[in-house]
Amino acid sequence: MGTNRKGPGEPTKGVTRRGFIGSVSAGAVAAATGVARRGEAVPEITAPGEMVQVALTINGRVHRLLVEPRWTLLFVLRERLAITGTKAGCERGECGSCTVLLDDQPRYACMMLALEAEGAEITTVEGLLDGEELGEVQRAFVEHDGFQCGYCTPGQIMAAEGLLRANSNPSTYEIRHGMSGNLCRCGAYQHIANAVEGAAGIKKAGGK
């Protein structure tokens, strides 16, 4: 098989892999540091470690606090506001244990900056409680044994809540598809699907 390898002294035509990676890296650095093209205004850059003010509406209550721009919503919920029902799992958008609702849409809190969530209505698993009473989806997970170790359960419940707010009568396929972004290491998937179906029935009956 022939190769196109060049000797150490021979020029290489076209773009090399190293050159391509270097140019992409340079572009990324320029974008991240706010380097502007000729004639463009340079955007304001927040210094590392500098805090900015944010107002987050969580479970109907406004929280005003100082955050670093790099902090995720997950970090702020757990470490700055002690709202710990939202669990930290993979922290890279794969497992779904940190799922919350943003304006009724399920979102991974680990993949969103806290600053991005400003202006939205954030709902965590604590926000589904009615006083000391469990919400419909929470009750259904208990009744249908929709968990084993329980670590992924808050994220599963929030994904189910988001699904049912968008579709009050999902089919079996729609339930499985809607819950597919949340992993259960215990493998309790059939029980979880049953719980979502049961929650749909409870909501349809007016919470009874």
Q: Tell me: pLDDT of 39 over 60.
A: no
The reported pLDDT for the residue numbered 38 is: 54
Q: Tell me: pLDDT of 46 over 70.
A: no
Mean pLDDT, residues 177-201: 97
The reported pLDDT for the residue numbered 43 is: 54
List of domains in the chain? 52-127 (3.10.20.30), 128-204 (1.10.150.120)
The reported pLDDT for the residue numbered 206 is: 84
DSSP state of 36: P
Give start and end residues of each alpha helix (H) in the chain.
17-33, 73-75, 136-143, 153-166, 172-178, 189-204
* Measured CA distances, 80 to 65, 69, 128 (Å): 9, 14, 21
56-112 confidence digits (pLDDT tens): 999 999 999 999 999 999 999 999 999 999 999 999 999 999 999 999 999 999 999
Q: Tell me: pLDDT of 15 over 70.
A: no
The reported pLDDT for the residue numbered 177 is: 97
109-146 confidence digits (pLDDT tens): 999 999 999 999 999 999 999 999 999 999 999 999 99
Contact partners, residue 75, CB within 8 Å, separation at least 6: 114
pLDDT class for 208, splitting at 50, 70, 90? low
Q: Tell me: pLDDT of 40 over 90.
A: no
Q: Tell me: pLDDT of 186 over 90.
A: yes
Q: Tell me: pLDDT of 35 over 90.
A: no
